[in-house]
Amino acid sequence: MRIGRFTIFITTLLLFLYITNLVVYEALASIFGLTTQLQLFLLGLGLGVLSGSFIVASIVGSYFYNWGTRVYYTLSAVWIGFFAYLFFASVLYGISVGITGALMPQVGMALIGLAVAVSIYGVLHARKIYIKEVKVALPNLPAQWKGRKAVWVSDLHLGQLHGPLFAKRVVDMINTLPHDVVFIGGDLYDGTGAPDIEELAQPLGKCKAPLGVYYITGNHEEYGDSERFLKAIRAAGIRTLIDEMVAIDELQLIGVDYRNASNTGAFEKILAGFSIDSGKPSILLKHEPKDLAVAEKAGISLQISGHTHRGQQWPFEYIARLVYKGYAYGLKRFKNMQVCVSSGTGTWGPPLRVGTNCEIVVFTFV
């Protein structure tokens, strides 16, 4: 079954890459007036090598971690982000040619320039981390929780792209914020074990909160030895919630493991086993905002999630909205439950943010 799914995935990926590269290839050949066999061969070879570079960088990066692999991974990831806008520019150029019936290299050059400008903006914008303030009114909230603050960070994706300095920067930002508890919502790591994951987790030990720091797993922790990731996180002094519920001053805090919670039936059994008290507020930390009906039925007051990155690059936000049925970002209500989804603190793949922000969410309970 797994081999079959993997084959389908690879076949689909290769077909997608072929089609998108063909569109860009035709557009670039037209815009720059490439006609000789050598010119067209070099263009096709260059696009093919660049398109496969991120896959190669990911494979190499899963075994080695050094200055060279980090630079190669970063450049390959930036290319993927730029290629998306280069593809859109190529499509627009093709449409303009189709409408006018004439080749317009000046228009094509302008569109390519726009793609470059947007990509540069995306790289620079992704380096800034925003603080997002969210007020939440929970039913039956105990008096001691009125005005308390919880910090949520997720999707740091520590690895080849984001290293210990990035982790330290995030922790320093958290420590400057007024807060009582910290939640780390999965995909702390990028999934590879090549970097020193203990070193990556070490800055987290400096993260302080009067009511504790709690962590749940994300899908990227499941790509490698998840227990090794958990061991490094625990060594940093972070409390892991692996299908557990803890009481913090009459508030029920629940954390679910990504692998277990990704199965609807298993997720339902996990929540049923907690005997959640509907007379007290409950917060569910769940990496991916899916199976909301299961959580709402179990009596959860607030579910906090990440994972979606809000699409990360425009216009992919619209795809994220479609996939997660309108719950890809922000604080919203699902029947009797509130759901808040963050766009994430880091980036995955292309280190670009266009139309979205890297963010740390600060909840104030009212």
For residue range 126-185, what is the model confidence (pLDDT) as tens digits? Answer: 999 999 999 999 999 999 999 999 999 999 999 999 999 999 999 999 999 999 999 999
For the chain of 366 residues, list the mean pLDDT of each consecutive stretch of 10.
67 86 96 96 95 90 92 96 97 93 91 98 98 97 96 96 95 97 95 85 93 96 83 94 95 95 93 93 97 96 98 97 97 97 96 98 97
Q: Which of 153, 168, 190, 183 is nearest to 351 (CA)?
A: 190
pLDDT of residue 6: 62
User: For 354, which DSSP code?
Assistant: B
pLDDT of residue 366: 95
Q: Are the CB atoms for 301 and 283 separated by under 8 Å? A: yes
Helical residues (DSSP H) of the chain, grouped into ranges: 2-31, 37-61, 67-100, 105-125, 164-176, 197-201, 226-235, 258-261, 264-272, 292-297, 317-323
pLDDT of residue 218: 95
Number of neighbours of residue 196 by Cβ within 10 angstroms? 13
Contacts 24+ apart (CB under 8 A), 107-111: 108/27, 108/30, 108/31, 109/31
Distance CA(52)–CA(71), nearest Å, equals 16
Q: Are the CB atoms for 312 and 285 separated by under 8 Å? A: no
pLDDT of residue 2: 52
Q: Are the CB atoms for 327 and 334 separated by under 8 Å? A: yes
DSSP reduced 3-state for 352? coil
User: For 158, which DSSP code?
Assistant: B
Q: Which of 83, 129, 54 is nearest to 342 (CA)?
A: 129
Tokens of 240: 């892991």
Q: Which of 290, 276, 286 is nearest to 325 (CA)?
A: 290
Read off the pTM: 0.93
